[in-house]
Amino acid sequence: MITFDNLSGIDHLTVAGALSVASLPICPGGAVNCQVSLRDLFDRAVILSHYIHNLSSEMFNEFDKRYAQGRGFITKAINSCHTSSLSTPEDKEQAQQIHHEDLLNLVLRVLRSWNDPLYHLVAEVRGMQEAPDAILSRAIEIEEQNKRLLEGMEKIVGQVHPGIRENEVYSVWSGLPSLQMADEDSRLFAFYNLLHCLRRDSHKIDNYLKLLKCRIIYDSNC
Amino acid sequence: MDLWQLLLTLALAGSNDAFSGSEDSSGKPKFTKCRSPELETFSCHWTDGVHHGLKHPGSVQLFYIRRSTQEWTQEWKECPDYVSAGENSCYFNSSYTSIWIPYCIKLTSNGGTVDQKCFSVEEIVQPDPPIGLNWTLLNISLTGIHADIQVRWEPPPNADVQKGWIVLEYELQYKEVNETQWKMMDPVLSTSVPVYSLRLDKEYEVRVRSRQRNSEKYGEFSEVLYVTLPQTSLFACEEDFQLPWFLIIIFGLFGLMVMLFVFVFSKQQRIKMLILPPVPVPKIKGIDPDLLKEGKLEEVNTILAIHDNYKPEFYNDDSWVEFIELDIDDPDEKAEGSDTDRLLSNDHQKSLNILGAKDDDSGRTSCYEPDILETDFNASDVCDGTSEVAQPQRLKGEADLVCLDQKNQNNSLYPDASPATQQPSVVLAEESKPRPCLVVGTESTHQAAHTQLSNPSSLANIDFYAQVSDITPAGSVVLSPGQKNKAGISQCDVHPELVSLCQANFIMDNAYFCEADAKKCIAVVPHVEIESHVEPSFNQEDIYITAESLTTTAGRSGTAERAPDAELPVPDYTSIHIVQCPQGLILNATALPLPDKEFLSSCGYVSTDQLNKLMP
């Protein structure tokens, strides 16, 4: 059983995540016809999604503690996330009703939608005055793990639903100008929003994948 | 009065507010907690800030709004269920619950908003406590004291973990019944966990709580599970096995002591050497330490001299012959083989050269200064220069040279003294043919007398043997004081006139006198006395005669006079005998009677040993 301890430090996270991922069997040498079992793929995917959600939670808490105190962001931060346009199930009934292939595609879309924002997030956090290392390191890690999760999900989709390739649909993120605003308050609020959305979406993906894993691998009997 | 009334009113008002404030922190309804136990429903609770009974209940209302598909529904909806979750609560069932959707709720009282809050449901997840705790015995330790158990439970029933909608992790806590602190175990994902090392004679309590993975907040604790372990009365074991440290220490010490005593007092030297090796003491080959203790320096010196690279510090009589060097410019002088030869040669020229010491002040400390001579001849300061030595000579002026029947043509002896030889010893000439020199003898005696007369105090300091600390180039021998000049005292009385005459000239006790002065003094002395003192003159008393005086008496070859080597202490004394003219050395007149034989070469120096041998 893979356990994640109380992940407090980025090093701990990295080690835990890396170890847990590394413990899974991998296709040796990337052979063409390598067929990693679906179970392993899902296990790895769930580990990655859990890891990403942990990182984003911590990153958000760090940012909240450091920059958002006393600014009243919370009441304002009910802005929409750029991934809201993707019609994802919003509760358990809806998630159970959706077909797992569609759900997988939705997961892929969400993951793709975050490629660009994560890249810019890292760049902008680096450029921040006194760039906090706790936030920057986590942003970098999330960006990398997100790419790995995307690859894994594409593999899963290839195994679960082979043959059908949909167009790469994803939500376009247009929040870059707000991250680069001159007004510090506005800029910080944009960051807060982005991190809030990241935490939410990472939780969503994590949940979907756990649901799919139980459904597909364990036949709804985890 | 008005002011007092105002103050009183304000105080009352303030206290009222404070009173009401302490109850519910400002008297307004306020949200306390919103919670979702399973990620499917949620409920919110608030405090009723109104005093019960004072106001109309139910005037508090909750309104919510949620954003759906990027648009806020502009209406605030009222709480669908005020009852299910209890009093002052609002329950949202699954149809009203959307995950990952922002909600805002507000509390109104009599139409006015009193509180507002925004959140997402996934942020407020706090699962219900697990149920169905039970335990089973895993094993009992061999000592019968400890046991391991396995605790199992069920996840909260409303959490849909089977479908994977929510993933929970659990934390177990246990403690002894009479303890106050709970022991916590690490969170686990499974619903059973082993608890190790519980004591059999104790009762334990166990409880479990759960939380959503990745969340921080735990749900409530489960009910407490009481673990009563079976009592084993079969083994009456001790509490703990403890090593008998006390006995071990005692026996260990005893053994060590025994071994120590065996080794220390053992007759076996080998063992003793191994355990307690002897400390090496300083030791020089061939030298018995007892020698050093007894102070027999001569033997030690002899032994040490055997060793290589040993420079005899003490005066080695035998080495006098070899070590005298003439510090004279005259090549002829240097051409000579040994100093002894020089000393004893009949080379008048050389002697003249020697005697005609330059009167230059070469800066060397005068060994002839009375004050210096009276003091111990130390290495550095004394006898460094013959200049001072020369001074008395200078005083005599050309009279010295007159003695030589020459002017001070060659003062080469004086300045060249010091560097030439490093040996303090004056090598008295070997036996050569001393020609009798009455004058010499006279001189010697009288000089001795004058010496004694002039410097009775100094004479008193002169011992039987005077140590020659240096030899001036002029041929004078610098002696170190310290010996009484016994024989000379008697002579002093005889010739007070001589004293007066000679005193001016004889500044030092073991001084070297210009033979002219000596002659002056001597001339007065009756011959008889002279003769009578001739013998003592040959004694090894301390009468030291300058080179000039020596040359007058005998044509000495260059005595290897040199500035006394102040560096080398000369414990032994040399007595210079003016044996013969012109090559005799004036020796101590107060010396013991010497055999009237020609034991001295011409104005050479006789070592003390030689003198000793010659003496009866």
The pLDDT tens digits of the residues spanning B567-604 come to 444 445 555 554 455 554 544 544 444 444 444 444 44
User: Tokens 């069997």, residue?
Assistant: A25
Cα atoms found within 13 Å of the Cα of residue B355, Cβ hemisphere only = 37
Nearest-Cα distance to chain B for A76, in Å, is: 9
Contact B583, B434 (CB under 8 A): yes
Spell B122-133 as b/e; 16+ CB within 10 A means b: bbbbbbbbbeeb
Contact assessment for residue B191 and residue B130, using Cβ atoms and an 8 Å cutoff? yes
Q: What percentage of chain B reaches a pLDDT higher than 70? A: 39
Helix (H) or strand (E) holding A135: helix A133-160
Alpha carbon of A29: minimum distance to chain B alpha carbons (Å): 33
For residue B562, give the nearest of B328, B319, B311 by alpha carbon: B328
Question: Which of A78, A201, A215 to probe the B interface (max B CBs under 10 A)?
Answer: A78
B434 Cβ contact partners less than 8 Å away, ≥ 6 residues apart: B554, B579, B580, B583, B584, B598, B599, B600, B601, B602
pLDDT of residue B611: 59
What's chain B's length in residues?
616
d(CA B521, CA B495): 9
pLDDT: which is higher, B293 or B135: B135
Whether B188 and A84 lie within 8 Å, measured CB to CB: no
Angstrom CA distances, B117 to A179, A181, B13, B30, stand at: 26, 28, 31, 10
Phi-psi region of B125 (alpha: psi -120 to 50; beta: other; left: phi over 0): beta
- The first and second tokens of residue B345, run together, are 């040669």
Q: Are B535 and B567 in contact (CB under 8 A)?
A: no
Task: Give the pLDDT band (50/70/90) at residue A138.
Answer: very high
Q: Is the pLDDT of residue B318 over 50?
A: yes
Per-residue confidence (pLDDT) for residue B59, from 0 to 100 = 79
Chain-centre distance for alpha carbon B326: 50
Q: Do B163 and A215 touch (CB under 8 A)?
A: yes
- Give B188's contacts in chain A (Cβ within 8 Å): 3
pLDDT band at B414 (very low <50, low <70, confident <90, very high): very low
- With a cut of 70, say whether residue B103 has pLDDT above it: yes
Is A33 near chain B, with CB under 8 Å? Answer: no
pLDDT tens for each residue of B374-401:
444 444 444 444 444 444 444 444 444 4
Cβ–Cβ of B213/A215 closer than 8 Å?
no
pLDDT exceeds cutoff 70 at B253 = yes
Residue-level pLDDT at B502: 47
Check pLDDT > 60 for residue B43.
yes
Q: Which of B306-310, B475-479, B533-537 has the highest mean pLDDT?
A: B475-479
Q: How many helices (H) and strands (E) does chain B have?
A: 21, 17
Q: For position B202, what pLDDT does the model report?
A: 87
Complete DSSP assignment for B259-274 = HHHHHHS-S-HHHHHH
Q: Predicted confidence band at B320 (pLDDT cuts at 50, 70, 90)?
A: low
Pairwise CA distance, residues B61 & B79, whole Å = 8
Give A169 to chain B, closest Cα distance, Å.
18
Residue B355 pLDDT greater than 90, yes or no: no
Rounded (5°) CA angle A212-A214-A216: 60
ipTM score: 0.81
Contact assignment for A75 to B116 by CB distance below 8 Å = yes
Query: Which residues 6+ apart lie within 8 Å of B80 measured at CB?
Result: B90, B91, B92, B93, B96
Specify which of A119-133, B522-536, B548-562 reaches the highest per-range mean pLDDT: A119-133
User: B211 pLDDT band (50/70/90 cuts)?
Assistant: very high
User: Chain-wide mean pLDDT for chain B?
Assistant: 64
Measure in Å the smallest separation between the Cα of B274 and chain A Cα atoms: 59
Q: Rounded to the nearest 10 degrees, how much is the dihedral formed by the CA atoms of B389, B390, B394, B395?
A: 0
* CB-based contacts of B29, cutoff 8 Å, min separation 6: B46, B47, B48, B49, B50, B60, B88, B107, B109, B114, B115
Under 8 Å between Cβ of B590 and B485: yes
- Element (H or E) spanning A103, and its range? helix A100-113
Q: Which range is least confidently modeled, A37-41, A90-94, B61-65, B413-417?
A: B413-417
pLDDT of B325: 58
Are A210 and B167 an interchain contact pair (Cβ–Cβ within 8 Å)?
Answer: yes
Note whether A80 contacts B: Cβ–Cβ < 8 A: yes
The percent of chain A in helix, strand and coil, each rounded to the nearest 5, is 70, 0, 30
| Bridge partners, B150 (sequence order) | B136, B194
Quick: pLDDT tens for B175-202. 999 999 999 999 999 999 999 989 888 8
- Tokens 């296990």 map to which residue? A43
Geometric angle at alpha carbon B67, from B62 and B68, rounded to 5°: 130
A12 is in an annotated binding site: no
Alpha carbon of residue B533 to chain centroid: 66
- Which residue in A90, A200, A211 is closest to B164 by CB distance? A211
Least confident of B31-40, B117-126, B467-476: B467-476
Tokens representing B79 are: 């709480």
Asked whether the beta carbons of residue A75 and residue B122 sit closer than 8 angstroms, the reply is no
CB within 8 Å: A92 and B40: yes
Which of the pair, B90 or B542, is modelled with greater confidence? B90
Structure tokens at B163: 């479908």
A50 is in an annotated binding site: yes
Shortest CA distance from B161: residue in chain A: A222
Please check the confidence at residue B164 and state whether its pLDDT lies above 80: yes
Give, in order, the Cα–Cα distances in Å from A219 to each of A210, A213, A216, B267, B328.
12, 8, 5, 91, 127
Angstrom distance (rounded) from CA A98 to CA A89 = 8
What whole-number percentage of chain A has pLDDT above 70?
78
pTM for this structure? 0.51
More confident residue, B101 or A18: B101
Q: How confident is the model at residue B296 (pLDDT cuts 50, 70, 90)?
A: low
Q: Which residue has the tokens 């080597």?
A: B565
Given a cut of 90, whether residue B133 has pLDDT beyond it is: yes
